[in-house]
Amino acid sequence: MKNEQEMYNELVYYTLSLGDEEFIHQHIVDAFGAQIANKNTKPIGICFALAGLYLHLEKNYTGRQVQLAHMQMAKRRKNWPALEIPDFRGNITIADVLNTKPGEERKEMIHKWCISAWRAYQESHDIVAALINIVLYG
């Protein structure tokens, strides 16, 4: 049985090989980052993962747009708040994504995975939204 890192590597290969204009690869990076975060994860990692999920799900950003937003965020701010990491990180995992048929079905499952991971961080939604407004739009 594959461990999480091996599954992630397989999914990375899959999403990067698509060459899609939307760049769904960014969404798997953010969903995975949110789900595997722990007390040793740097605040920037959690903030970027949640910012990516927020921009995708709440602002309808494509993966490419999220990637560009991450670059702007990195240029504009160096200190990131430590967000609370919930015990439960969502009911959809990377294994569920990989067990879904490649193509449109897997793309839809990636979207559902993002929703699941984002919902798990419900307590941080307002903080992430405010942070995005300050860093990107402020």
What tokens does 131 get?
């942070």
Q: For residue range 4-51, what is the model confidence (pLDDT) as tens digits?
A: 999 999 999 999 999 999 999 999 999 999 999 999 999 999 999 999
Global confidence as pTM: 0.96
pLDDT band of residue 138 (cuts 50, 70, 90) is confident
- Residue 31 CA to residue 56 CA, distance in Å, equals 11
Closest by CA position to 67, among listed 45, 42, 48: 48
What is the chain's mean pLDDT, rounded?
A: 96
